[in-house]
Amino acid sequence: MSITIENMTKSFGSTAVLRGIDLTVESGELVALLGPSGSGKTTLLKIVAGLEWPNSGGLNVNGQDWLGLAAQDRRIGFVFQHYALFPHMTVRDNIAFGLTVRPRAERPGKSVIAAKVEELLHFLQIAHLGDRYPAQLSGGQRQRVALGRALAIQPTVLLLDEPFGALDAAVRRDLRAWLRRVHEETGSTTIFVTHDQEEAFELADRVVVMGEGRIEQIGNADQIHDHPASPFVARFMGATIELPVVLSAGRAEAPGLDAGRLPRRALPDGPATLFLRPADITPVADPSGRWQVSRCTSNGAILRLELTDGAQTIPVDLPRRALEAKGLERGARVILRPETAAIFPGPRPSQAASAATELPRKEKAQ
Amino acid sequence: MTATAIKPKRVLPGFSLSLGTTLLYVALVILIPVIALILKGAQIGPAQFWAIVTSPRTLSALRVTVTAAAIATVFNAFYGLLMAWVLTRYDFPGKRILDALMDVPFALPTAVAGISLTALYSANGWFGAPLASAGIQLVYTLAGVTIAMAFTSIPFVVRAIQPVLEDLDPALEQAAMTLGASPWQIFRRVVLPAIFPAWLAGSTVAFARSLGEFGAVVFIAGNLPFKTEIAALLAYIRLEEYDYQGAAAIALVLLAFALVLLILSNWLQFRAARHLESKG
């Protein structure tokens, strides 16, 4: 079941939530919608489910126009963030719900439904929980029941809204591998929403990064990590340090910066901004260096430095045993040697606009 | 070796004072009057008690009361559910006013309610006149008694359902929708089970309240013995006649009704809600 979304927009009152989304999901694909809260990812998922309606745009599934179909008729499996299990029904009745509400003519017989539920209970490894009520289950168990309920109707498309958001880290890792297996065994086309990068990259075939109602980038972990398509993606992927530079013949230049390890870029000369991760910078001791170590802490393995040039303070992480770490203490002068970085033309956005993405450490240091 | 017991400190001071005051208040205002009534009734003796309660006039009054209260409650159960639904599910101009109006029967002195209802439904009132020309008379009939009871008890149903309906997770209904359930199936199988305990509780309290309603009913009922005389009024009449035992016996029957209803309602709610407690 391939899903095609074309030029979709949606606003709540005067707030635009989706500003023109184009996306194609291939049959059998597992796609993650990744983005911070407010990026429109859940709204997009709910539109595909038929729980929200766009202001404009198209939604086609296998050539069929889904905007003319009610949620009831789309046959999707939707797993809600907080599971939304029916509290007064047992696990068995929850899973059977979608089959028991079918019109009488299409409804399978009681024994067929019971057998189907039993099969799903085994498949989801919750066979011993069939007679419990949702209130008697742990978060991970509820998640499995919610997925079982969605799978019972043999959905054309499986949609999951922050499927692991409410679970603790260990259960989350377990369920991730398990969901991947479920996806492969059922062969369903699956879209899930998350704000957790690790989850998105580990689980999905393709990751769609969303920000402020637009698709910023589509790709796999390496592509998005190494070649962010926009400043937004760079910041979201952890490149929170933004240095103003000047591009000259494709190379970034700034006082106190040794950009020798960065490849040349086919970008016009002029002002640009370098986006860096704290771990991708090597500070090189230089008595006349522009940057000075203003703070130095260690967790044993990693040395965390704060470097300042008087105007800007940036965090830098490096292995404590690295050669370059020798002699780096408070007051030492260094220059920056980025190992990898993203460059976007144009001056660095104003402080106010980028304040939200900067580290709290910085404010303390100033 | 001496061990000193450590007395845990309570966070909020004045626990014993506030609990003591509460208990005293409950005793004075609720418990002692009820006990006094039971003691008074106990003095009568079973034979005489039975004679009072089964006298034709008492039986008739009880029948009128229970019948009218039952009809009023059935009406309120459905109408109250609809009201609560409208107030929680839709946004429309004047919603807050409508919401506030729901409390009028709570706040209005019941006698005032009774007088205005009588004025409205009497043969020359706004509703009464057209009804009278159609040959229907409501004042001084069982229907009149029912209207008065329904008026004073409707907020119990609405206010019991409303918060539960407001707290109902919309994702439950959406989940049912994605699973292919029709609107009626969603209501019947998802919404109704969730609000059922509250609905039941509200309706039971409304019924109990209707059984004891006095002020609103006496004006519209006309109080014809064997026709529209309610039990609470009969107890009052007995009291006026210095027949304390007669009054106490009738009051005891009403009390027993109310108690049985409360216990039944609590039990049914407990049964319906036993799976709903979340472990968090």
Q: Residues of chain B whose C-beta is under 8 A from some C-beta in A?
A: 169, 171-172, 174-182, 185, 189-190, 193-194, 272, 275-279
Give A 139-198 residues with CB within 8 A of chain B. 149-150, 153
Taking 70 as the threshold, does the pLDDT of residue B275 lie above it?
no
pLDDT of residue A355: 40
Nearest CA in chain A to B179: A98
Whole-prediction pTM value? 0.78
Residue (of B59, B206, B183) closest to A72 by Cα position: B183
Q: Hey, are the CB atoms on B181 and A97 less than 8 Å from each other?
A: yes
Using an 8 Å Cβ cutoff, are A237 and A225 in contact? yes
Using an 8 Å Cβ cutoff, are B108 and B33 in contact? no
Strand partners, A284: A335
The residue among A48, A86, A143, A160 with the most chain B CBs within 10 A of its CB, best to mutate, is: A86
Tokens 């085994």 correspond to: A122
pLDDT tens, position by position, A42-86: 999 999 999 999 999 999 998 889 998 999 999 999 999 999 999
pLDDT of residue B276: 65
Taking 50 as the threshold, does the pLDDT of residue B235 lie above it?
yes
Q: Hey, are the CB atoms on B178 and A71 less than 8 Å from each other?
A: yes
A136 contact B CB<8A: yes
Q: Hey, are the CB atoms on A84 and B175 less than 8 Å from each other?
A: yes
Nearest to A71 among B171, B172, B177 (CB): B177
Taking 90 as the threshold, does the pLDDT of residue B179 lie above it?
yes
Considering the four listed CATH numbers 3.40.50.300, 3.90.1150.10, 2.40.50.140, 3.50.50.60, the one that applies to the domain covering A238-365 is 2.40.50.140
Q: Hey, are the CB atoms on A101 and B185 less than 8 Å from each other?
A: yes
A101 contact B CB<8A: yes
The residue among B168, B172, B179, B200 with the most chain A CBs within 10 A of its CB, best to mutate, is: B179
Nearest CA in chain B to A91: B275
Nearest CA in chain A to B188: A101
Q: Return the DSSP state at A162.
A: S
pLDDT of residue B116: 87
A110 contact B CB<8A: no
Say if B137 falls within a structural domain: yes
Q: Are residues B92 and B195 in the same domain?
A: yes
Residue, of A32 and B8, whose pLDDT is higher: A32
Q: Are residues B117 and B217 in the same domain?
A: yes
What CATH topology corresponds to A3-226?
A: Rossmann fold (3.40.50)
Nearest CA in chain B to A100: B181
Distance CA A241, CA A354 (A): 10
A13 contact B CB<8A: no
The residue among A76, A89, A97 with the most chain B CBs within 10 A of its CB, best to mutate, is: A97
pLDDT tens, position by position, A270-289: 899 999 999 999 998 888 88
Residue, of B276 and A26, whose pLDDT is higher: A26
Q: Are residues B20 and B131 in the same domain?
A: no
Which region holds residue A208: left if phi is over 0, alpha if psi is between -120 and 50, else beta?
Answer: beta
Taking 80 as the threshold, does the pLDDT of residue B239 lie above it?
yes
pLDDT tens, position by position, B204-213: 989 998 998 8
Q: Are residues B37 and B119 in the same domain?
A: no
Q: Are residues B31 and B164 in the same domain?
A: no
End-to-end CA distance of chain B: 44
| Enclosing domain of residue B40 | 15-44
Q: Are residues B109 and B246 in the same domain?
A: yes
Tokens representing A317? 């992480």
Distance CA B164, CA B158 (A): 10
Q: Hey, are the CB atoms on A51 and B275 less than 8 Å from each other?
A: no
CATH number at residue B236: 1.10.3720.10
Distance CA A358, CA A106 (A): 56
| Mean pLDDT in residue range B60-66 | 91
Q: Are residues B19 and B93 in the same domain?
A: no
Say if B111 falls within a structural domain: yes
Q: Hey, are the CB atoms on A101 and B177 less than 8 Å from each other?
A: no
Tokens 């006298």 correspond to: B55
pLDDT tens, position by position, B193-226: 989 888 988 999 899 989 988 888 888 888 888 8
Say if B140 falls within a structural domain: yes
Strand partners, B104: none
Say if B192 falls within a structural domain: yes
Separation in Å, CA of B216 to nearest CA in chain A: 40
Give B250: exposed, middle or buried? Use CB within 10 Å, 0-12, 13-18, 19+.
Answer: buried
Separation in Å, CA of A89 to nearest CA in chain B: 8
Q: Are residues B51 and B31 in the same domain?
A: no
A14 contact B CB<8A: no
pLDDT band of B279, cuts 50, 70, 90? very low
Q: Hey, are the CB atoms on B275 and A101 less than 8 Å from each other?
A: no
Q: Hey, are the CB atoms on B179 and A101 less than 8 Å from each other?
A: yes
Q: Which residue positions in chain A have pLDDT lower than 70? A: 348-366
Say if B1 falls within a structural domain: no
Q: Hey, are the CB atoms on A101 and B190 less than 8 Å from each other?
A: no
Distance CA B110, CA B114 (A): 6
Residues 6 or more apart whose CB falls under 8 angstroms from that of B156 comprise: B76, B80, B202, B203, B205, B206, B209
Separation in Å, CA of A37 to nearest CA in chain B: 19
A98 contact B CB<8A: yes
Distance CA A31, CA A210 (A): 13
pLDDT of residue A358: 39
How many separate domains does chain B show? 2
Segments making up each domain of chain A, as ranges? 3-226, 238-365
Distance CA B216, CA A361 (A): 69
Residue, of B59 and B45, whose pLDDT is higher: B59
